[in-house]
Structure 1
Amino acid sequence: MSLLFNDFISWEKHCAETGEQLYQPVLAYEIEQKGRTEAFIWQNLARAYVVMKEAVQTGLTDDMRSRSGMVNNSGKKVANAPVTVLSGEFQMLVARALSAKEVNSCMGRVVAAPTAGASGILPSTLTTLQDLHQLPDQKIHESLLVAAGIALIIEQNASLAGAVGGCQAETGSAAAMASGAIVYCLGGDVEQVFTAVAITIQCMLGLVCDPVAGLVEVPCIVRNASAAAIAFSSAQMALAGVNAVIPVDQCVAALGEVGESMERRYKETAEGGLANTPKAREIEKLVLVQDVDILPDEPEEP
């Protein structure tokens, strides 16, 4: 029977006992639990990564403006900024996260990893990591399985949805998936991979979901960029031997506890936080007016 991904400690124990790499139990899970062939899984992982790369490229080259007016080519602006405060690689990481998420907000094709609202995080981190270290696609595909295993455990013990656990559950989970994937790709051991996940959750804990006008645009897009940065920094800390102190399973439990106690208005309802500011309410009214279809007057009765 395949590993069911109830917690990280069981995943770590399984790999220690079998000598398997972290991605292998996830592959076995997909084969047994979902009834898929190994060839099918690898083919679809490859396709998913192609879509991720295409989303990044589309956002950096096409016109990314949404109907609401809140999305306006942020990725290209950061990529081409004349004044920089970041290294070239870090600047590109941020630009790619913005770009891929803008593609989602402009109704383009993305990979929900784990959700469409967090669709800029894994694409930006993995493409940037691959460029930095010249990693083969196969290693990236394996890391996507590792990321999927991380998501399975978070989903079981907390949530992946902003409507259930706030943005900490959505961009937070994606960042945790990304940080674990990064450490795996760079040869980190199981403990380091899970430390990266734990540190990331600690950094993202408590983040509310407060989309302006109910659209997954503001602040969602910029949060994808900051989450990608947190994923990179958490991976660096884990690889350097920084101790997360709180075990990863307990971090996930804290994520679930905070999500449950969070007020409803902070869970994708557009009733609190940034969505309840005066400017946001102005935007909301404009968006609602734009979305109303003006019907022609009905002819009067003779």
Structure 2
Amino acid sequence: MIEYHSIQNILDLCKEQDKKIWEVVLQADMDESGASGEQVFEKMRFMYRAIQEADQSYEANLKSQSGMVGGDGEKMRQYNATGKNLCSEYSSLAMEKALKMGESNACMKRIVAAPTAGSCGVIPAVLLSYEENKNAEEDELVKALFVASGIGKVVAENASIAGAFGGCQAEIGTASSMAAGALAYLQGADNEQIMQAATFALKNMLGLACDPVGGLVEVPCVKRNVAGVVNAISSAQLALAGITSVITPDDTIDSMRRIGNDLPSCLKETSKGGLAVTESAKRIMEQFKNH
């Protein structure tokens, strides 16, 4: 029976069994669930198609109940159409899709928590944009989701994916790490490079506070999804260039756990610190209450 509890476990299993990361993750799921390989793969395909549907159902004219979120994804689309965005066509599209997915979540539309609702835009934006921009086959994108889920499982087990426990590093940080690994896979990275990409992305997000205005998954959450996307893309490129992290993947995850424990409660989804207690935030919430 295959099981893993660390990134090094996954890499060792890949080496011992001459498998790719997605194959090890799929096999572990089969062993745990008792389902066939085809059943597990098709379940993940269902997830990917749900992500596609969520992206396609974006409504530019929708506003969240608080009025803080809505329409920015359309603004990004319009800006991208001018050709002025300095980022590549792929990165520009990913930024747009991240905003749209985050806004859809804030507007109570159906999304896929990847790995959480607050970070729902990162992985979808990276994968959907790759499919659209690079004409990738669906099976490869599903395999990339297996890569992402393997990384996410290790982080969840050894640190946290919840803002209430680890701050936003646990949500956007984990999503960005998962997306970086998935993108590196799609670009042809080997197993080691995939995990290096994931490590770079997580390192860059260490210490990120969770300070939602009014306790709502809107500000600054939605725009942090864009930061997570750009971080994931750059991290994958570092790994593909052959650059390696001085700190190992598992040590990085362990550091994230310790940092999360050290963060004061005011920076862990309680809305009692950070951006949530600024004068700007207080004015917004006062207006919201009056309505």
List aligned pairs for 1:195-206, cutoff 5 A. Answer: 195-206=196-207
Aligned residue number for residue 5 of structure 2: 6
Aligned residue number for residue 37 of structure 2: 38
What amino acid sits opposite 2:252 in the alignment? Answer: C
- Is the contact between residue 60 and residue 74 of structure 2 (CA under 8 Å) also seen in structure 1? no
Aligned residue number for residue 258 of structure 1: 259
List aligned pairs for 1:106-125, cutoff 5 A. Answer: 106-125=107-126
List aligned pairs for 1:225-244, cutoff 5 A. Answer: 225-244=226-245
Aligned residue number for residue 54 of structure 2: 55
Distance 1:17 1:87 in 2: 38
- Once the two structures are superposed, residues 189-210 of structure 1 have per-residue CA deviations (whole angstroms, 9 ceiling, x without a partner) of 1110010011001111110000
Distance 1:114 1:246 in 2: 24
Provide TM-score, normalisation by structure 1. Answer: 0.91
- Once the two structures are superposed, residues 29-86 of structure 1 have per-residue CA deviations (whole angstroms, 9 ceiling, x without a partner) of 2222133333332222122111212222222x54231110001211110110255333
Aligned residue number for residue 25 of structure 1: 24
Deviating more after overlay: 27-36 vs 231-240: 27-36
Deviating more after overlay: 175-184 vs 62-71: 62-71
List aligned pairs for 1:94-105, cutoff 5 A. Answer: 94-105=95-106
Larger radius of gyration: 1
Structure 1 segments, 4+ long, off by >4 Å, are none
Distance 2:196 2:86 in 1: 28
Question: How far 1:270 sits from its partner (Å)?
Answer: 0.6
Question: How far 1:289 sits from its partner (Å)?
Answer: 4.8
Distance 2:289 2:151 in 1: 38
Distance 2:68 2:288 in 1: 10
Question: How far 1:92 sits from its partner (Å)?
Answer: 1.3
Question: How far 1:101 sits from its partner (Å)?
Answer: 1.0
What amino acid sits opposite 1:264 in the alignment? Answer: S
Question: How far 1:288 sits from its partner (Å)?
Answer: 4.1
Aligned residue number for residue 76 of structure 1: 74
Distance 2:50 2:61 in 1: 18
Distance 1:168 1:8 in 2: 18
Provide TM-score, normalisation by structure 2. Answer: 0.95
- Is the contact between residue 75 and residue 96 of structure 1 (CA under 8 Å) also seen in structure 2? yes
- Is the contact between residue 60 and residue 70 of structure 2 (CA under 8 Å) also seen in structure 1? no
The CA RMSD over aligned residues, in Å, is 1.4
- % identity of equivalent residues: 36
Distance 1:217 1:197 in 2: 25
Q: For the structure 1 residues 84 and 135, does the alpha-carbon distance in structure 2 shift closer, same or farther, using more than 3 Å as the test? A: closer
- Is the contact between residue 26 and residue 41 of structure 2 (CA under 8 Å) also seen in structure 1? no
Unpaired runs of at least 5, structure 1: 291-302
Question: How far 1:93 sits from its partner (Å)?
Answer: 1.2
Distance 1:236 1:199 in 2: 10
SS at structure 1 position matched to 2:242: coil
SS at structure 2 position matched to 1:70: coil
Deviating more after overlay: 115-124 vs 25-34: 25-34
Distance 2:30 2:88 in 1: 42
Question: How far 1:246 sits from its partner (Å)?
Answer: 0.8
Distance 1:179 1:132 in 2: 17
What amino acid sits opposite 2:63 in the alignment? Answer: R
